[in-house]
Amino acid sequence: MRNIENRKYVIALIFLIIPLIFIVRLFYMQVVDTQWKERAAQISENRITTYPARGIVYDRNGVKIISNEVYYDIHVIPKQTNNTDSIALTKLLGISMDEYVSKMNKARNYSRRKPSELVRQIPPNEFSVIAPELYKYPGFFEVARTLRVYPKKIAAHVLGYMNEANGTDIEKDSYYKSGDYIGRSGIEKMYEKELRGQRGVKYYLQDAIGLSTGKYENGDYDTLAVQGQNLSLSIDWELQAYGEKLMQNKLGSIVAIEPATGEILAMISAPTYDPNLLVGRHLGANYGALAEDTLLPLQNRSLNSAYPPGSIFKTVMALIGMQEGVITENASFPCNKALAGCHNHPTAMNVSDGVKMSCNPYFIQLVRRIVQQGKDKSIFKDAAIGLDIWAKYVRSFGIGTDLQVDYPTNVHGNVPDAAYYDKHLNFRWAFSTIQSIAIGQGEVLITPLEMANLAAILANRGYFIPPHFIKSIDQGEIPEIYRTKKYTMVDSAYFEPVIDGMWRVVHEDGGTARRARLDSIAICGKTGTVENFKRISGKVYQLTDHSNFMAFAPRDNPQIAISVFIENSGFGGTWSAPLASLMIEKYITGTVADTAKENRILNANLIPDAEDIIRK
């Protein structure tokens, strides 16, 4: 009897536990585990993602330089295709038969009743040919989507490009899903989060065979896509376009900065390409062709190449020497060609003369005083102490440091210090071993951006604002770092003798940049001729020198600072200086008066021969 009673309780307990298990499980599936909620939604409704229009990008004057354009994807519903003339269709769509068969098989395996993508990103001009014929192919239809378009066809390296998000992108940021597009370089990458906007969602009811039967809950749960933020860049598109035109058939770069703000007015890397090549379904093929080009058009030479600065570095040496008190502005040194080769000129009687004449022995003797100051009895220890002082000064000019430019990838120049030479020369070195650094050769390296920033520092008499492309985000303020001055270690009082020498470089007989002279604008500049050596398989090749020039203008209240670097083109005053003057005149006056100078630059082909390119 007791067993029967016990059994009765057990059975009752079982009837209580089983419903409880179901209740807990249902609670978990419906409230805790969203996977089941999403699965239920997929069964009962069709969730469609709506993509936002990406933010528009303008130049400094409000001219649109990146916008959006409708492109078309072709989708297919396999069940609706009957007796398709696949040969005619593939010809119309511009795809191979193998690709067509593969895509159709994939679509059928996914669903015979639901749409699948067949061809993506057909540009409007190509779709205008396809659209009138598409009705002949039941089950095939277009889906519009927006992609980037670059209306001015300029600044490819600055603006960057987009492509499909990969697994790494999706893993790093849950915002992205398969099939999304993401900024891959340049401004498109740097300001990806601001530009991308926010996706929306629309829900549609569907029947048992997957056909739409109307909106879910009258659209109450739909969310609108939010357009990305609009950007205004510091780039002047007309100056940028003019610089790209001048750099045709040349290898190198131009960087122009507004000294008072640090805003980058133009950044040209040559050779360049039309940014529209990396949009749409031909992106892969076009990218491959650019990547295989031996002239390296995909490389941003302005930010990702570093070169010896050559004689433009002498301006910094003069400033350090005066600040350290090892010379005054009236210091004179003989042009002793036993120290280094130099062109014929009178003895430099002061700093201004030294800069104007670009005397190599003058600056070697000047920098020896900076490095070998007699702070230690050992010549080696003394050199190490002095070189570290020198390196600290040089880095305060932004050379060899992170300039914090708003660009996703860039390299820094190189400023060798004592630790650098201890490592490479096994502690046995003094100034005589490394004296080429005094004239911007040897182990000193600088990027074109750093050169332009140096010109901005000289224009500002001792400070710079980190160079940047952003001018406003949805007409709001930019980050504080791009509104903050950074000072060098040299007092402003020492800049005038150097600036005077730079003015004389351009405007006086005997100056090394007479081709840069403009009657209407006071340009202060400094040429550089950079020796170009390459070691390959143990053999050293001396290639044609690089030509560079940095300048700012006008002398008082400067509006533009600029660097021009042309690879394998010889003396700095021959090509880089006149090209820079054309850019300066174009920016300040809006026109160019000396058409003969302009045509000389436009018609020059300075690309080295194939042997030099291969050696590079």
User: Which structure tokens are listed for 415?
Assistant: 């400023």
Q: Are residues 483 and 564 in the same domain?
A: yes
Average pLDDT score over the chain: 89
Helices 314-324/360-371 angle, 10° precision: 40
Residue 115: the pLDDT is 83
Residue 368 neighbours by CB under 8 Å, 6+ apart: 431, 435, 438
Mean pLDDT of 193-213: 71
Do the domain assignments include residue 34? yes
Number of domains in the chain: 4
Structure-derived torsion over alpha carbons of residues 399, 400, 403, 409, reported in degrees to the nearest 10: 130
Q: Are residues 366 and 497 in the same domain?
A: no
| CB of 113 closer than 8 Å to CB of 210 | yes
Q: Are residues 247 and 143 in the same domain?
A: no
Single residue among 102, 122, 151 that ends a domain in this structure: 151
pLDDT in tens, 471-496: 999 988 899 999 999 999 999 999 99
Q: Are residues 251 and 319 in the same domain?
A: no
Residue where the block lists tokens 């020497």: 321
Tell whether omega for the bond before 271 is within 30 degrees of 0, i.e. cis. Answer: yes
Rounded distance between C-alpha atoms, residue 214 and residue 206, angstroms: 7
Do the domain assignments include residue 419? yes
Single residue among 97, 127, 151 that ends a domain in this structure: 151
Collapsing DSSP to helix, strand or coil, 3 comes out as: helix
Single residue among 151, 175, 202 that ends a domain in this structure: 151
Structure-derived torsion over alpha carbons of residues 448, 485, 320, 256, reported in degrees to the nearest 10: 20
Do the domain assignments include residue 6? yes
Q: Are residues 506 and 606 in the same domain?
A: yes
Residue 15: the pLDDT is 64
Helices 595-603/237-246 angle, 10° precision: 60
Collapsing DSSP to helix, strand or coil, 552 comes out as: strand
Q: Which of 507, 502, 508 is nearest to 525 (CA)?
A: 502
Helices 314-324/495-507 angle, 10° precision: 150
Collapsing DSSP to helix, strand or coil, 590 comes out as: coil
Q: Are residues 429 and 452 in the same domain?
A: no
Do the domain assignments include residue 271? yes
pLDDT bracket for residue 256 (50, 70, 90)? very high
Helices 97-110/86-93 angle, 10° precision: 100
Mean pLDDT of 570-597: 95
Collapsing DSSP to helix, strand or coil, 503 comes out as: helix
Strands 57-58 and 231-233: parallel
Tell whether omega for the bond before 558 is within 30 degrees of 0, i.e. cis. Answer: no
Collapsing DSSP to helix, strand or coil, 472 comes out as: strand
Amino acid at 190: M
Do the domain assignments include residue 211? no
Q: Are residues 497 and 585 in the same domain?
A: yes
Do the domain assignments include residue 322? yes
Do the domain assignments include residue 164? no
Q: Which of 511, 527, 561 is nearest to 353 (CA)?
A: 511
pLDDT bracket for residue 17 (50, 70, 90)? confident
User: Which structure tokens are listed for 555?
Assistant: 């002398």
Rounded distance between C-alpha atoms, residue 267 and residue 183, angstroms: 19
Q: Are residues 138 and 9 in the same domain?
A: no
Q: What is the 3-state secondary structure (H, E, C) of 38-88?
A: HHHHHHHEEEEEECCCCCCEECCCCCEEEEEEEEEEEEECHHHCCCCCHHH
Rounded distance between C-alpha atoms, residue 261 and residue 477, angstroms: 13
Which domain covers residue 79, as residue numbers? Answer: 68-151
Q: Are residues 454 and 538 in the same domain?
A: yes
Main-chain dihedrals φ then ψ at residue 537, nearest 5 degrees: 50, 45
Chain-centre distance for alpha carbon 459: 25
Q: What CATH number does residue 469 fall under?
A: 3.40.710.10
Cα angle: 284, vertex 288, 291; to 5 degrees: 135
Q: Are residues 126 and 250 in the same domain?
A: no
Residue 44: the pLDDT is 45
**β-strand partners of 525:** 551
Predicted TM-score of the model (pTM):
0.86
Q: Are residues 72 and 147 in the same domain?
A: yes
Is residue 35 packed enough to be buried (19+ CB in 10 Å), middle (13-18) or exposed (0-12)? exposed
Percentage of the chain lying above the pLDDT 90 cut: 70
Residue 13: the pLDDT is 63
Is it the case that residue 16 has pLDDT exceeding 80?
Answer: no
Strands 252-258 and 263-270: antiparallel
Do the domain assignments include residue 179? no
**Residue 144, CA atoms < 13 Å, CB-side half-sphere:** 9
pLDDT in tens, 531-570: 877 766 667 677 788 899 999 999 999 999 999 999 988 8
Q: Are residues 536 and 585 in the same domain?
A: yes
Q: Which of 395, 354, 396, 389 is nearest to 375 (CA)?
A: 389
Positive or negative CA dihedral for 119, 57, 563, 254?
positive
